[in-house]
Chain A
Amino acid sequence: MTTTDPDNTSTTSVVGGSRSTGTKATRVIGVAMVVAMGWLVLFGLVLSPADVNQGESVRLLYIHVPTIWIAYLSFVVTAVSSGIYLFTKKHSLGWDRLAGASGEFGVAFVALTLLVGSMWGRLTWGVFWQWDARLTTTALLFVTYIGYLAVRRLGGSHHQRAKRSAVVGLLAVLLIPLVHWSVVIWRSLHQTASVLDTDGDIDMDGTMLFTLFVGVVAFTLLYIWLVLHRTRAMAMEDMLEDRGLDIALAERRAEGVAR
């Protein structure tokens, strides 16, 4: 940032002066998302068959798999936009807000994944939790990004927030492979008998695969819709704070004149 002009251009360009976070694009995505969710309910609960081994509990996977996919997607988005914020000359706050919004939904979707996953685990394996590599990595990922969100709330100026959280966001990327590596060697050394022979992979027939596909599409649309609205809401919050600064500035200057 080489200039410090009063108008935060990146803020205004995102919001475009509108008072709502919705645009034509978000409305289209919103409608498409609702339709896809309807399909998911129809296929997931009615049209797809129960699994030979897992019975009705297989239906939980139609939420479980898409949510973990979205969670990983959002952490990738957080990392990439943190990097773009940090390493581009412009240091646009738009990327910081995208990173933050994506991180928030990432945490929410991981929470949903863990919740649905443990319900499915109870039904299928007989236990809520298994210390396997994937589960453990996911749980640590969850806590790591809760930390990331805490860093975002530390306060300070917008650019200070952006710089700090971008660095922490990138450090998390450094951490994930190390966590995964450690957990994989750990679990491969200690072969525990799993309750089920498989670790959740099942022979899916056409309808089941299609249902899963619908789920992924529906949740991806939901994610995009949420992130668009959230980044715009964040832009508005930032703008509000900037406007608050203008008012405070005017007050402080008036205070000086009155003296």
Chain B
Amino acid sequence: MPRPVDANDVASDVVIELREVVATLGQFPALSGATMQVDRGDIVLLRGSNGAGKTTLLRLCAGLLPVARGTASVLGHDLVTERDLVRPHVGLLGHQNGLYSDLTVAENVRFWAATVGASSDEVDAAMERMGVAGRLAGVAVAKLSAGQKRRTALAALVARRAQLWLLDEPHAGLDQLGREELDSTLRQAAASGATILVASHELDRAESLATRTIDVIAGQTHDAGESK
């Protein structure tokens, strides 16, 4: 089946396009038919109970899980045949932060930035933006609080210039100030062209942030429309 995406779509504003996508964890169909479209600059809230398939949906969009059935394209690339082209532009922040606990904040961010060849200015700016510059920069990640770890991981994401941010419960473990900072960072990023998917339980927080809401129920997606 040829994918229904022509070359023009690459330049278009559609960032994620899923049609009846099934994805399995072992033999369990965590996604049982996800259909959705996300445009550039959107901040989309994925709303759903535990086990509804939010995390799987994010991992699938990141190119980490194979598409079992259906068609999916991310950033104009087919997720079945061109996963390798999708990945470099995607940042996934899941339950794990992807940090090296023995290294310092700055070393972690620098490492991830260096994998894409980002300059040290970008690293500094990213750390500044996420509030992990200064004294925190020299602290080992193992000694950070959950919120500080999260901010470090986000700084790494910013430094590696991801276009599509897939965030799984990003507010978890952050204090009030941290949440507000995170929201403003995400709005800024979206305004400058990043597309953001947020899976969250903390609905009031996330709903005020999101421009659109998608319900995830039993592995299927239901568009709940514009939030505001």
Q: Which residues of A contact B (CB under 8 A)?
A: 1-6, 155-157, 159-160, 241, 244-245, 248-249, 252-253, 255-256, 259
| Of B97-105, B139-147, B161-169, B216-224, the one with at least 4 CB within 8 A of chain A | B216-224
Across-interface contacts of B32 in A (CB, < 8 A):
249, 252-253, 256
Q: Which of A4, A156, A253 has the most CB of B within 10 A?
A: A4
Nearest-neighbour CB distance to chain B for A244, whole angstroms, equals 6
Across-interface contacts of B217 in A (CB, < 8 A):
256, 259
Residue pair A6, B69 in contact (C-beta under 8 Å): yes
Nearest-neighbour CB distance to chain B for A247, whole angstroms, equals 10
Given contact pairs A253-B32, A253-B33, A256-B219, A241 touches B27 in the complex (Cβ within 8 A): yes
Nearest-neighbour CB distance to chain B for A78, whole angstroms, equals 24
Segment 1-46 of B: residues with Cβ below 8 Å from A: 1, 22, 24, 26-29, 32-33
Some 5 contacts from A to B, beta carbons below 8 A apart, are A4-B69, A249-B32, A249-B33, A256-B220, A259-B218
User: What is the bound-complex CA distance between A159 and B24, given in angstroms?
Assistant: 12
Closest residue of chain B to A257, judged by CB?
A: B218
Segment 60-84 of B: residues with Cβ below 8 Å from A: 66-71, 80-81
Segment 187-228 of B: residues with Cβ below 8 Å from A: 217-220
Tier of interface size on chain B? 20 to 34
Residue pair A252, B218 in contact (C-beta under 8 Å): yes
Closest 10 pairs between A and B when the two form their complex, measured CB to CB = A256-B218, A252-B32, A255-B218, A3-B1, A249-B29, A256-B217, A256-B220, A4-B69, A253-B32, A252-B219
Nearest-neighbour CB distance to chain A for B133, whole angstroms, equals 41
Closest residue of chain A to B66, judged by CB?
A: A157
User: What is the bound-complex CA distance between A245 and B219, given in angstroms?
Assistant: 14
Nearest-neighbour CB distance to chain B for A152, whole angstroms, equals 16
Residue pair B29, A252 in contact (C-beta under 8 Å): yes
Residue pair A4, B218 in contact (C-beta under 8 Å): no
User: What is the bound-complex CA distance between A28 and B122, given in angstroms?
Assistant: 72
Nearest-neighbour CB distance to chain B for A222, whole angstroms, equals 34
Nearest-neighbour CB distance to chain B for A163, whole angstroms, equals 10
User: What is the bound-complex CA distance between A1 and B1, given in angstroms?
Assistant: 10
Residue pair B66, A5 in contact (C-beta under 8 Å): no
Residue pair A157, B33 in contact (C-beta under 8 Å): no
User: What is the bound-complex CA distance between A131 and B128, given in angstroms?
Assistant: 66
User: What is the bound-complex CA distance between A4 and B71, given in angstroms?
Assistant: 8
Across-interface contacts of B28 in A (CB, < 8 A):
248
User: What is the bound-complex CA distance between A161 and B67, given in angstroms?
Assistant: 15
Across-interface contacts of B69 in A (CB, < 8 A):
4-6
Closest residue of chain A to B29, judged by CB?
A: A249
Contact of B66 among A2, A160, A249, A253 (CB under 8 A): A160
Across-interface contacts of B26 in A (CB, < 8 A):
155-156
User: What is the bound-complex CA distance between A157 and B32, given in angstroms?
Assistant: 16
Nearest-neighbour CB distance to chain B for A176, whole angstroms, equals 31
User: What is the bound-complex CA distance between A157 and B69, given in angstroms?
Assistant: 12
Residue pair B70, A4 in contact (C-beta under 8 Å): yes
Across-interface contacts of A159 in B (CB, < 8 A):
66
User: What is the bound-complex CA distance between A156 and B23, given in angstroms?
Assistant: 12
Across-interface contacts of B81 in A (CB, < 8 A):
2
Closest residue of chain A to B23, judged by CB?
A: A157
User: What is the bound-complex CA distance between A5 and B33, given in angstroms?
Assistant: 13
User: What is the bound-complex CA distance between A248 and B27, given in angstroms?
Assistant: 8
User: What is the bound-complex CA distance between A6 and B26, given in angstroms?
Assistant: 17
Residue pair A249, B22 in contact (C-beta under 8 Å): yes
Other A-B contacts than A2-B80, A241-B27, A259-B217, 5 sampled, CB-CB below 8 A, are A6-B69, A157-B68, A245-B27, A253-B220, A256-B218
User: What is the bound-complex CA distance between A159 and B32, given in angstroms?
Assistant: 19
Nearest-neighbour CB distance to chain B for A93, whole angstroms, equals 14
Across-interface contacts of A6 in B (CB, < 8 A):
69
Nearest-neighbour CB distance to chain B for A218, whole angstroms, equals 40
Across-interface contacts of A5 in B (CB, < 8 A):
1, 69
Contact of B67 among A4, A155, A241 (CB under 8 A): A4
Across-interface contacts of A259 in B (CB, < 8 A):
217-218
Given contact pairs A2-B80, A252-B32, A244 touches B70 in the complex (Cβ within 8 A): no
Residue pair B24, A245 in contact (C-beta under 8 Å): yes
